[in-house]
Amino acid sequence: MHGTETPSAWVMRWSHLVPAQGTVLDVACGHGRHLKWFAQHGHSVCGVDRDPEAIAAVRSVGRALQADIENGPWPLAGERFAGVVVTNYLWRPLMPAILDSVAPGGALIYETFAIDHASVGRPSRADFLLRPGELLTLAQGLRVVAYEDGFCEGPDRFVQRLAAVREIRSDGAAPPRHRLDAAG
């Protein structure tokens, strides 16, 4: 069942990019594995999913919105979040709204299936699989801190992963230091 697995190692690894105590949005949150993880680490959370059962399962964790984000309006228009998390989900027409939801100083952590995944399992339709380098193109306007495109075992899958930030720059200020590890 989507959202009941262990939190993604990619999401956990790059979660330090999300400003402390900032609100995190999980798009297509399922049963809330990432909502629960971020809530346990001091963040307010908001999840959106079309499945009423999934939304019922996460209401006690934080704000939970049931919405068909593929066929209806984006329910969070104008809202910005310190972190936006998307895993195992791709709906290209929604990418501008997802990117717009990343607040200045906030982070986007994204992980989903790549085109070669069709050779090992589902999803297998190209509509739901990223082309080589596509996630980098979709995230234009953000500063990419980390990116991967390749094969993972256990279970076998081809993925693209991205961690990016919407930087706040001031003339003459030292550049932001986006750590490549969570050690502090």
- In CATH, what number is assigned to the domain containing residue 116? 3.40.50.150
State the total domains in the chain. 1
Question: Is 173 contained in some domain?
Answer: no
Question: Is 69 contained in some domain?
Answer: yes
Q: How confident is the model at residue 184 (pLDDT cuts 50, 70, 90)?
A: very low
| Residue 145 structure tokens | 């801190």
* pLDDT > 90? residue 150: no
* pLDDT > 90? residue 41: yes
Residue 56 and residue 60: Cα distance in Å, rounded? 8
Q: Which domain holds residue 19?
A: 9-165
Cβ atoms 42, 21 nearer than 8 A: yes
Question: Is 180 contained in some domain?
Answer: no
Question: Is 80 contained in some domain?
Answer: yes
The count of C-alpha atoms lying within 13 angstroms of the C-alpha of 8, restricted to the half-sphere facing its C-beta, is 25
Residue 38 and residue 164: Cα distance in Å, rounded? 17
Residue 11 and residue 27: Cα distance in Å, rounded? 13
Distance of CA 47 to the CA centre of its chain: 11
* pLDDT > 70? residue 128: yes
Question: Is 172 contained in some domain?
Answer: no
Distance of CA 1 to the CA centre of its chain: 18
